[in-house]
Copies of this chain bind each other. A is one copy, B any other.
Amino acid sequence: MPNNQFRRGELYSFITGMASTAIARRLQKNFKQEGIEITIEQWSVLYHLWKTDGISQQELCNASFRDKPSITRLVDNLEKLKLVKRFPSQTDRRSNMIMLTDAAKKLQEKTMELAAKTLNEALEGVNASDVETAKKVLQQVYDNLK
């Protein structure tokens, strides 16, 4: 018998991800309040490029846990916003290098600040060691299912 059998009625918010939905909405709101007009999904792509600029779309797929069509279109939209640019890879003609523009580089500091602020709003009044436990559990869930 499984260790963590859920009682019925307890599973809804876990499955539907109401907490992370709430975090995403709040972050979006905090972006807007500061005049930053990108979506959370676009931000999450920029996030990986800030760590490593010039990676391929496939690498963005792996890093951001999205499929290829999603990345194609996110990169399309980021390109329209002049936040990234596709360059053909020198070594593999199937592959694109996605490069940040200066405008995108300028977004890093402020948006990371807002992300940290949003998380602090989210975790107001939550015991720090419980947060660590929750992070560990969510990481394990991800590893179990990915």
Chain A interface, DSSP helix/strand/loop, else mixed: helix
A131 touches B4 (CB 8 A): yes
Q: How large is the interface on A (under 10, 10 to 19, 20 to 34, 35 or more residues)?
A: 35 or more
One digit per residue, 1 when the CB lies within 8 angstroms of any chain B CB and 0 when it does not, for chain A 105-138 equals 0000000100110111111111010110111111
A122 touches B135 (CB 8 A): no
User: Interface stretch among A16-24, A52-60, A79-87, A93-101?
Assistant: A16-24
A6 touches B140 (CB 8 A): no
On chain B, the residues within 8 Å of A19 by CB distance are 17, 20, 138-139, 141-142
Distance, CA A133 to CA B14, complexed state (A): 12
Known contacts being A3-B128, A112-B8, is A142 close to B22, with CB within 8 Å?
A: yes
Can you list 17 A-B contacts with CB-CB less than 8 angstroms, sorted by A residue number? A3-B123, A4-B119, A4-B123, A4-B126, A10-B135, A11-B115, A11-B116, A12-B47, A15-B27, A16-B24, A16-B44, A22-B145, A26-B145, A122-B145, A123-B140, A126-B140, A130-B136
